[in-house]
Amino acid sequence: MEPMLADFEKVVSGLSFSVPVLPVVSGLTGEVSEEIGSPGYWVRHVREAVRFADAVAYTAAHGVTSFVEIGPDAVLAGMAAQSVEDGLFVPAQRRSRSETQTAVSALARLHTAGARVDWAGFYAGSDARRVDLPTYAFQHQRYWINGEQRGANMEAMGQETTGHPLVGAAVRTPGTDGVLLTGRLSTATHPWLADHAVGDTILFPGTGFVELAIRAGAEVECPVLEELTHEAPLILPAQGGVALQVGVGAPDESGRRPLTVHSRDEVGDTEWTRHAVGTLAPESLARESVMPESESVVVAEGGAFDAVSWPPAGAVPVDLDGFYEAMGDAGLGYGPAFRGLTAAWKYGDQIFAEAHLPEGTEPGAFALHPALFDAALHGVALLGVVGEGAALPFVWSG
């Protein structure tokens, strides 16, 4: 090694050196060095370690944000990126790639990053010429359908928009005085539904069917849900969604109307499944639809329960620690949106429950948000009447 360095120094000593026009950051010192113009510097450069990372960091610290590698590949650009947190690192050449295309691409990247490129020199000798850009703002045309366009399309096809989160369109059925509400359900459009699961299955909650029935009744002035019976579960797929239809038939002599809820997978030509049937009634029949007073009025100390006093006088608080974990062990997987039961009290054989929608869950245009309604019913489990395993409501009345 020493004879080689001696020969190298002899050769270098015969060269003429001058001050660089551009500042040169030395790989020997890691900064700008005046020694670069001496033969001894270049001998040391061969012998000693290259302080590449220090040189890159020094350059970046002095305001340089764009780095160009002049070499046969992109090795140094990758190494430099590890030494500086923010910066543009562009190789002028890449192995096994067109030299011309790679060099022009490097210039383009530098230009778009704000570096000054001598394009006049680049195009010198060619037929290229500069043209003016239009003076008006660039015009864009959207091709994706947004929500407003969807609504307009439904009305153009004879449908009415409902503004409801679950069933967004309604169609009047000629000759029957009925109505058909349609919608689409998925965990992508209604992510809170994924928080209601039995085992590993995402299940549309029973309170959701009640919400659908009440919304359908509002369309035909039958706001009272006399009875609703679940016939089949509505399972939501992990990917994609299901098409939903809520049908209301013609009224009978009393004004009551039949109700059905169907769905089918939106993928493929699948059959419709009927999930629920029920009966809607006009306001005038509301009193007949409510449970007897002896069953619906809570009696506490001093007479009938007065909602002004909360919690009820004499009621004993119930500890809810571990409540939803125990429900999960029973097979009912309630996620954050459905964990709305926040407090409960017991008075004799009755439960008083307090429920809230979790933060970030908007009530929207629901008559009663299904997740909140569901949480209000969780107090039933505190009575010990459910037993072991998952138990879900399947009949609603009044």
In the chain, what is the straight-line distance between the N-terminal and C-terminal CA atoms, in Å? 99
Residue 117 one-letter amino acid: V
* DSSP assignment string, 29-90: TSSB-GGGGSHHHHHHHHHSPP-HHHHHHHHHHTT--EEEE-SSSSHHHHHHHTT-SS-EEE
Region 384-392: mean pLDDT is 62
In CATH terms, are 2-122 and 150-293 the same topology? no
Q: Domain residues of the chain, as ranges?
A: 2-122, 150-293, 295-397
Question: Which letter does DSSP use for residue 388 in this model?
Answer: S
Residue, of 141 and 341, whose pLDDT is higher: 341
- Which CATH fold would you assign to the domain 295-397? Thiol Ester Dehydrase; Chain A (3.10.129)
pLDDT band at 308 (very low <50, low <70, confident <90, very high): confident
Q: For 207-238, what is each residue's pLDDT tens digit?
A: 999 999 999 999 999 999 999 999 999 999 98
Q: Which residues of the chain form beta strands (DSSP E)? A: 66-69, 88-91, 160-161, 169-173, 178-186, 196-198, 201-203, 224-230, 235-236, 241-248, 257-265, 273-281, 299-300, 303-304, 316-317, 332-334, 341-347, 350-355, 395-397
Cα four-point dihedral sign 312, 318, 322, 323: negative
> Which of these ranges, 180-189, 285-294, 315-324, has the smallest mean pLDDT?
285-294
pLDDT band at 3 (very low <50, low <70, confident <90, very high): confident
Listed in sequence order, the residues at least 6 apart from 146 whose beta carbon sits closer than 8 Å to its beta carbon are: none
CATH architecture under which domain 150-293 falls: Roll (3.10)
Mean pLDDT of the chain, nearest integer: 85
pLDDT band at 287 (very low <50, low <70, confident <90, very high): low
The pLDDT assigned to 344 comes to: 94
Is 60 exceeded by the pLDDT of residue 381?
A: yes
Region 193-208: mean pLDDT is 92
Calculate what percentage of the chain has a pLDDT beyond 90. Answer: 49
Is 60 exceeded by the pLDDT of residue 291?
A: no
Burial 354-383 (b: 16+ CB within 10 A, else e): ebebbeebeeeebbebbbbbbbbbbbebbe
pLDDT band at 98 (very low <50, low <70, confident <90, very high): very high
With beta carbons less than 8 A apart as the criterion, state whether 180 and 163 touch. Answer: no
The pLDDT assigned to 306 comes to: 62
> Which of these ranges, 13-22, 208-217, 275-284, has the smallest mean pLDDT?
13-22
Q: For 146-183, what is each residue's pLDDT tens digit?
A: 654 444 455 556 678 888 999 989 998 887 889 999 99
Calculate what percentage of the chain has a pLDDT beyond 70. Answer: 88
> Which of these ranges, 175-179, 258-262, 271-275, 389-393, has the smallest mean pLDDT?
389-393
The pLDDT assigned to 236 comes to: 94
Is 2-122 a CATH 3.60.110.10 domain? no
pLDDT band at 296 (very low <50, low <70, confident <90, very high): very low
Which residues are registered as beta bridge partners of 235?
Answer: 203
Which residues are registered as beta bridge partners of 261?
Answer: 246, 276
